[in-house]
Amino acid sequence: TYVIAEPCVDVKDRACVDECPVDCIYEGARCLYIHPDECVDCGACEPVCPVEAIYYEDDVPDQWKAYTPANAEFFDDLGSPGGAQKLGVIDGDHPLVAALPPAGE
């Protein structure tokens, strides 16, 4: 799967969403998350992110390794919705993201 890491937090450019053929990039309050079971590893999202937040799971930089399980755990309560668009913005974030200070501080 691909993973969205910390550079997305409070940026949420959403260019990646438009590229994904299976609509598996879900929007939380401060960050977006890729559903690990729904992502088909097409890789279309990775180059379009202006802040380079997206990585193939094997290539996530060391300081953001926790984002691989965080992307997966974001769906613990949601299951596999089978499409992000119908959910819209999900109210909340993984605790890892929620604990970050607001951007710019």
Return the number of the residue (15 or 87) whose C-beta is nearest ligand F3S.
Answer: 15
Radius of gyration of the chain (CA): 12
* Nearest residue to 53 (alpha-carbon basis) of 37, 76, 74, 30: 30
Q: Is 87 in the site for ligand F3S (CB under 6 A)?
A: no
Return the number of the residue (15 or 95) whose C-beta is nearest ligand F3S.
Answer: 15
Give phi and psi for 55, each to the nearest 5.
Answer: -140, 150
Give phi and psi for 84, each to the nearest 5.
Answer: -85, -30
* Interactions with ligand F3S, residue window 6-65 (CB under 6 A): 8, 11-16, 19-20, 22, 24-25, 32, 34, 39-45, 49, 51, 53-54
The answer to whether 22 touches 39, Cβ cutoff 8 Å, is yes
Positions that interact with ligand F3S (CB under 6 A): 2, 4, 8, 11-16, 19-20, 22, 24-25, 32, 34, 39-45, 49, 51, 53-54
